[in-house]
Homo-oligomer: A and B are copies of this chain.
Amino acid sequence: MDETSSLQRRPEGSGPGPIRRTALHDTLVNHLRDMIIEGDLEPGTRLHEGQLGEQLGVSRTPLREAIKYLASEGLVELVPSRGAVVKRFSAKDVKDMLTVLRSLEELAGKLACEVASDNDIAGVRTLHDEMIDCYKAGDRLRYYKLNQDIHSAIVKLSQNASLADIHIMLQTRLKRIRFIGHEGPEKWASAVAEHEEMISALEARDQSRLSEVLGRHLFNAWDRVRDTL
């Protein structure tokens, strides 16, 4: 039982932490989500309850609950009497998602310009500067993460919970795809340029310009991955 690592209820006094230990359900959901996003579970793969449960050191019951949760999130598909399989997205699916995402980010941009505080905007600027550093240093992984953080941050500035929810959901579904699409240097440069524009538009609280840039940015993103599908 040495290989069945890391997911079961924390054994003992795990630190003096009065920190509310995250429920197993959440842990499982996050873990499975990551496995799907990172490709450990490829699209079309059947989620084998017995095997997967043993592998994670959890019994079938909480595992099934987590799977149902993910099904509602749209990451896996439930087939009656046959369990769950990792959902496969077609090129059109991806394009459709990006279309919606674009619309949502345009909305978020407009709202953010209206309601965000100067302080919040400064926070985004900080993220942006960090990201630029990563770009210069060629640190793709951290760049990628900060990139996403910035988009999420702008959405948060809109102070619309529902918008943020859906945005995260779509981002999650798309993460798998973007994980693949590693664009070349020239496209990367243009993406960075778009980000520069975004920030300055945000700081100027220029609704239409920010909205336009966000839209263009995502449109280009589609252009960057369309071939890889």
Contacts and interface: CB of A to CB of B under 8 A. Distances in A.
Contact of A65 (B68, B96, B97, B161): B68
Q: Which A-B residue pairs are the 3 nearest by beta carbons? A: A72-B72, A23-B80, A96-B160
B96 A162 contact: yes
A161 B170 CA distance: 12
Contact of A93 (B66, B93, B161): B161
A174 to B, nearest CB: 10
A126 interface: no
A103 interface: yes
Interface string A195-222: 0000000000000000000000000000
Nearest to A98: B162
B23 A81 contact: yes
A175 interface: no
Nearest to A174: B162
Contacts of A193: none
14 contacts: A23-B80, A23-B81, A25-B68, A64-B65, A65-B65, A65-B68, A69-B71, A72-B72, A96-B160, A96-B162, A99-B162, A100-B104, A100-B166, A103-B106
